Chains A and B, each alone.
Chain A
Amino acid sequence: LAKTTQPISMDSYEGQEVNITCSHNNIATNDYITWYQQFPSQGPRFIIQGYKTKVTNEVASLFIPADRKSSTLSLPRVSLSDTAVYYCLVGDYKLSFGAGTTVTVRA
C-alpha cells in the first residue's frame, strides 16, 4: 500500500483557490489516486479520482504529474462550507485513511 504524505492543516479565505499536495513516492503502476472530503460528524465523501494528467469535476480538479509521485487537489473559490478534512488515498482496496489535511476557510 503506497504511503501518502499531506500537510496537516491549511488556512484560506472565502473566494480563494486552495491547493493541497499529496506525496506518494512509491505509487504502483496500477494505483489510482483518490481524494475524499469529511465534514464534522459525517462520513468521508468521495470527491475525485484520477490516474494521470488532469481530472476535473463540478467540485474540484486533480493534477497528477507525469511521474505520478505526487498529486494536487485544487478547490476553486472556496466558501466557508468547504471547511473540512481532505484525505488523499493511493492504492488497493485496503484503503485506510491517514490524518488528512484540515482545511479551514475564514470569512
Chain B
Amino acid sequence: DTAVSQTPKYLVTQMGNDKSIKCEQNLGHDTMYWYKQDSKKFLKIMFSYNNKELIINETVPNRFSPKSPDKAHLNLHINSLELGDSAVYFCASSHSPGTGDGYTFGSGTRLTVV
C-alpha cells in the first residue's frame, strides 16, 4: 500500500484552465502539506493542514486553494493556470506539525502549463 499517494502523476494543460491534484495518506497522520519544487530543485512549502485546519499558508497566489475534507486527504485546486505554475507538486504528511518526526512524501505531480 502506498503511504502517500497523489494523482495524477502527470498533468499537461493549457493556460487559463482550472485543475486539481488529489492527495491521500493512509498513515494515520494528523498533518498534511503541499510543496512546490521548481527546476532548481528548491522545494518550497505552500500549505499545511493539521486535523483539517489550515496552519500554514505561505505567500501563494489566491489562484491556489487547498481543501481538506478529512485528515487523510488534502487536495490542491489551481484556477487560471499560468506558465509559471509549471513545476512538480509534492504532497506530504507527518504525525504532527513539529520536528519530532520525519515527513512522508508522495511521488509528485508534474504539472506542465502550455
How far, in Å, is A2 (CB) from chain B's closest CB?
Answer: 11
Interface residues on A, range: 20 to 34
- Say which one of A39-47, A64-72, A73-81 lies at the interface with B: A39-47
- Are B107 and A93 touching (Cβ within 8 A)? no
Given contacts A95-B103, A99-B41, contact A43 B98 (CB under 8 A): no
Given the interface pairs A94-B45, A99-B40, A99-B41, the reply to whether A42 lies near B98 with Cβ below 8 Å is no
B42 contact set on A, CB distance < 8 A: 96-99
Once the chains bind, are B99 and A92 in contact (CB under 8 Å)? yes
Q: Hey, which chain B residues are within 8 Å of A32, CB to CB? A: 99-100
Q: In terms of DSSP, what is the predominant structure of the interface of chain A?
A: loop
Q: Count how many chain B residues have C-beta atoms less than 8 Å from C-beta atoms of the other chain.
A: 27
Instruction: Tell me how far the C-beta of B101 lies from the nearest C-beta in chain A, rounded to whole angstroms.
Output: 8
Check A49 against B43 for contact (C-beta < 8 Å): no
Q: Are B99 and A31 in contact (CB under 8 A)?
A: yes
User: With A41-B108, A44-B105 known to touch, is A93 a contact of B99 (CB < 8 Å)?
Assistant: yes
Interface centre among A34, A38, A95, A96 (most CB of B within 10 A): A95
CA distance A85 to B40 in the complex (A): 11
**Do A44 and B43 form a contact, CB below 8 Å, given A49-B102, A95-B103?**
yes
For residue A99, give the distance in angstroms from its CB to the closest CB of chain B: 5
- Write the residues of chain A forming the contact surface with B, with a CB cutoff of 8 angstroms: 31-32, 34, 36, 38, 41-46, 49, 85, 87, 91-100, 102
| 9 closest residue pairs by CB, A with B | A43-B105, A46-B102, A97-B43, A93-B97, A32-B99, A96-B44, A96-B45, A43-B90, A99-B41
Could you list which residues of chain B lie within 8 angstroms of chain A, going by C-beta atoms?
4, 31, 35, 40-45, 48, 56, 58, 90, 92, 94, 97-108
27 contacts between A and B (CB under 8 A): A32-B99, A32-B100, A34-B102, A36-B102, A36-B103, A42-B107, A43-B108, A44-B105, A45-B105, A46-B102, A46-B104, A49-B101, A49-B102, A85-B41, A92-B99, A93-B97, A93-B98, A94-B45, A94-B56, A95-B103, A96-B35, A96-B44, A96-B45, A98-B42, A99-B41, A100-B41, A102-B41
